[in-house]
Each structure stands twice: as C-alpha cells, then as structure tokens.
Chain A
Amino acid sequence: MPSLGRRKLLNNTMTVLTGLCALFAVASLFFILGYIFWGGLRGLSLGFLVNSPKPIGEPNSGIANAIVGSAILIALGSAIGMPVGILGGIYLSEFGSNKFGLLLRFLIDTLTGAPSILVGVFVWTVMVHPMGYFSALSGGVALGIMMMPIVARTTEEMIRLVPHSLREAGLALGAPRWRVTLGVVLRTAASGVATGAMLAIARIAGETAPLLFTALGLNYLSTNVFQPMASLTYQIYYYAQSPYEEWHDMAWAATLVLVTMILALNIAVRLLTRNRHQQA
C-alpha cells in the first residue's frame, strides 16, 4: 500500500488534471466563439441583415433571405414537431408503462439518434420527388421529424417529474383521468415542457443536412413555402466552400447571426429554469 504522502500527491495531481480538462473544454468553447465573433463582426452591417444576395462583384449583398428563410423553416418545423411531440410525450408518460410503451419509447429513441442526412433523404423520397419540386414545406417536415422525438421524450420526462400526489389529489376529487392530466399535471409541467420545446428549436436551428435535399436554397427573399427557401445554415455551407473572399466574410457574419440566435435561446432557457426545483 503506497504511503499516505504518495496517495495525497496522486489525489492532488488528479484534481489538477481534471481541472485542466474542464479548463480545456471551456477554453475550446470560448476560442471557437471568439473566432466566430471576431471573424463575423467584420462582415456584419445593417445592410447585411436586410439585403438579399447580389451577384459576385456587386456591393450591398446580404442574407436577409436566409434569416427570413430560417425563421420560416423553424416555424414550420415547430408547427409540425411540437404538437405531435407533446401529445406523444403525454401518451408515453400516462399510458406508456407497459411493454407496448417500451417498444414505442425504443423506436422514438431510435429516431432521435437517426443521422439528420437520412431524414433529409427520407423526406426527398416521400415528398420532394412525388411532389416534383423542392419546397420549404418539405424542409419544414424534415425539421419537424427531427423535433418530434426530442420533444416527446422531454415532455415525457417533465410530466414524470410531477409528484404523484398532485395527480392522485386530482383523481381523488373525482375528475376523469384526461382532465387531471391536462388540467393539473400538464399545467404543472408546462414550464418544463416549454423548456424542452425551446431546446428542440435551438437544436433544429443549427441543422443543415436535412435541408440539402428538401428546401434546397434560394437567392432571393421569399416567404412562399411551396418553393425552395434559403436558410442560414445552407448559406453558410455554400459561402464557406466558395473561393470568393467576400463570400467567406459573409459566411462568418452569417455564422455570427446564427450562433447568437442559438446561444440566446439556450441561455434564455437556462436563466428561466435556474431556480426550478424540478431541475434534474
């Protein structure tokens, strides 16, 4: 058995080492964010935010179409993914304690882990190809499919965290099951469910792959969901791979816009849930 001194040394060394790991992780974050901020600030201007792209060489190019496009795509994805996810999550928490529920949960988890490119391929096969055109709608469906399992599982978790006593109190007062679930349990879990929904939105806001074969891209501003639509993620991808300096700058500036939006969502969720006793 090594001496106490050596054991203490090992203990302290490990404290330092693990602390370094944490430092490294946090430093990576600040390094990447810092670079995005520094690189993106150069290209950022009011014109950048409100203009549409111009052909190469012409001034005043912007990404207004991508900002609006991303907003619409996320809106569509949420409109599809959230209701389905929340209702599905309610089923899992209320009625999902049997073998069937286990099967459902397993399949839903599988969908959570499905690579996003495959969701895009799937939606191309069942929507874009039969419909005959790329559209924001199919992009929204792809994003919605990605949201559903995430929202379902977080909804289920949040509802499960509601104390049994609340549920039983409602039932003891003679209310039917569905009333108790919706009126008492869901209300209590509402903030948690909203948290899960907002995190899911933040997650799909950063997706590119499912949009590659569904919403494609568009070089002018449009709100029409029955045709292709620009998105921040696609524009970043496209500009980054180009050889033009101006487009590289635009890629960084667009990245700054996107990352700011996503981080804002994450931080907002964090701040609003900080003191909730239900936080796991």
Chain B
Amino acid sequence: MGQPLAGEGSAPSLTPNQPHLPLGRARSSLRARPRIGDPLFKWSTGFFAVLIAGLAVLIMVEMAINSKLPFAKFGFGFLSRSVWDPVKEQFAALPFIYGTAVSSVIALLISVPVSLGVAIFLVEKAPRKLSNPILFLVQLLAAIPSVVYGLWGIFVLAPTLRNHVYPALQSTFGFLPLFQGNQNGLGLLTAGLILSIMVLPIITAVTTDVLRAVPGTQREASLALGSTKWEATLIVLQNARSGISGAIILGLGRAIGETMAVTMVIGNRSQISASLFDPSYSIASVIANEFTEATSEIYLQSLIELGLILFFVTFIINMLARLLVWSVTRGEGRGGHA
C-alpha cells in the first residue's frame, strides 16, 4: 500500500503546473497547515490502534502478575498434577486441561467433516443463488448466544441424549472404557456435542472463503482432463489444505474458550476419568463458577493462572490458524478488487 503521497507537505510544487485548479479553499488550507494535519492524523489514529493492541498485552501481563503465588508454590507441577482442593490449598490444572482438550477434540471430530461437507456443497455444487442464503443461515448459528446453547443443552439435548442416545451407545460400544459408567446426560460428551454445533459455522465460513479463493484454473484444468466434478473438488481441497487446517484451528480456538454453554452441560467435576459420559470441567467453566467465591489469595491466583494458560493456548492456536488461512487467501479475493 505504499502509494506516492503526492499531497503530503509538497503542495506548493503542484500548483505552478496546474493553474486551473478549482481548489482555492484547499490551496489556502494547504498553505495554512501543511505539516500538522497528516502527522496528527497518523498519531491520533495510531494511538487507538496501539491502545487495542496494548490491551491484549496488558491482559496477559496483568494475569501473569496475579498468578505469582501458585507459580511459586507449585511451579510447573501445576500443569501436570491433578488436584483441586481449596480446603487443603492444593491446586493443579490437569483436570481442566483434560476437559477443555477432550471436549474440543470431540467437537472437531464431529463438526469438521460436516463443515467440510457444507463448504464443498456451497462452493462446488450449489449455484450462487442457493449457496449465499445457506451460508447466511449457517452463520446465524454463530449468532445464537452461548447461554442460549446452554439452555437448549440442559433442557433439550441432555435429556434426549440421556434417554435415547447414550443407552444405545453404551449397549453397542460399552466394551470401550470410553462408553462405560453412569450416564446422566451432563458430561464430557454432551459438552463436546454442543461445542460441535457452535464451531460448525466458523469452520464452514472460513473453509468456504478458502475454497472460493483457490483459482478457478485449478478446477478447470482438472475438468479439462476429464475428471468428474468430485475429482476436481479433490484437487481444490488439496490446494486449499493449509487454509482448511487454518479453519479447523480457528474452530478449535473458539471451542476451547467457550464458557457458558459448556458450564451448563459439562457436569462440573474436576476429575479425569476415562468415560466420555462422566462429568468433567473446562478451564473457562471453573473460572466462571469459582471466581467470585475464591476466598483465599492462592485460590484466586490459581484460577487466574488457569486463565493465563487458556489465554496462552488460545494465542498460539489463533496465530497458527491465521498463518495457515492467510497463506491461501492472501491476494485472492481480498483487497484490491475494484
């Protein structure tokens, strides 16, 4: 975007060559303030951009400062141990990392194939007139607030799963430790299922963008060689695979930070267990439940340290995702189109 700045501070050189300029007012304002306007503009808008960026840094720093106590007491053992005992003041993150990770993985396992299917359908198979409204409807899924998903989860999804789906799962796959044990509808699998619906729109939207950004020539070349449409699609997917990975990782980033819906259906138990039916706990949920009540300083700071871990992981995930997506979509279909 480094276009020549013809107007900046060099106004007097323009006027002698173009005596018929009608910008009398502009000319005098240029003479009156040739230097302050632009730098002022740059610095004042820059201030706000730095403010936003600075907030991101400030949040991280603030949380790091406020997690000194548990870091001093537990060190990196905080990440590997599995205890959460406010009475004895022993805290560790592993159960929450487990819950967050597993529920997100379940969400991806379900939503990625479906999202890919939707995106392929929208880009490759459906005419534009149909695909745009469908894309809009899928994106509406993202507009539904998290707390509403939680509400729906408690009153609709969990009872349905408990009464119909889980018993069937248990009788079919009960030999696996994953599906053993008591099922009451609220637990890790339910949380994963709700998350899958919540990340579906974002993976679909980004994948659609990515697929649309693949040059049409790729598709056409394949078709010219006699492939079926599906085989041409496979070529397109191949081309877009880093972008698709990026979309998946963006979905992952959304899943691990989701708070309200997960808190209402995950069962809130800080223990790691093999069964997917068992209740579990995610980092965001434990913070939401226990933050206002953490009475001792180390309890509070342990929760903040959990938040810091979450932020850090989100940070890395988002960075990775944007790199991958950017590598496919840069220059194509973005900016510069007249």
Contact = CB atoms under 8 A, between A and B. Distances in A.
A245 B147 CA distance: 18
A108 interface: yes
A109 B284 contact: no
Contacts, number: 316
Interface in B219-276: 227-231, 233, 253, 256-260, 264
Interface residues of A, number: 107
Contacts of B178: none
B7 interface: yes
A199 B76 CA distance: 41
Interface in B292-332: 292, 304, 307, 310-311, 314-315, 317-319, 322
Interface string A55-95: 00000000000000000000000000001110111111111
Contact of A25 (B52, B138, B143, B227): B138
Given A209-B260, A240-B264, A22 B288 contact: no
A35 to B, nearest CB: 6
**Residues of B in contact with A, size category:** 35 or more
Interface in A256-280: 258-259, 262-263, 266, 270, 280
A213 B291 contact: yes
B123 to A, nearest CB: 10
A21 B114 contact: yes
Contact residues of A: prevailing secondary structure: helix
A118 B310 contact: yes
A163 B338 CA distance: 5
A25 B151 contact: no
Interface in A168-185: 168, 170-182
Contact of A148 (B5, B55, B335): B55
Interface string A138-151: 00000001001100
Contact residues of B: prevailing secondary structure: helix
Contact of B3 (A18, A95, A164, A178): A164
A197 interface: no
A177 B117 contact: no
Q: Which of B3, B117, B307 has the most CB of A within 10 A?
A: B117
Contact of A240 (B11, B154, B258): B154
A235 to B, nearest CB: 10
A91 B50 CA distance: 9
Contacts of A84: 48, 51-52
B121 A118 contact: no
Interface of B: 1-8, 11, 14-15, 21, 23, 26-27, 30, 34, 37-38, 40-42, 44-59, 62-63, 66, 113-118, 120-122, 124-126, 134, 136-141, 143-152, 154-156, 197, 200, 204, 209, 227-231, 233, 253, 256-260, 264, 284, 287-288, 291-292, 304, 307, 310-311, 314-315, 317-319, 322, 333-338
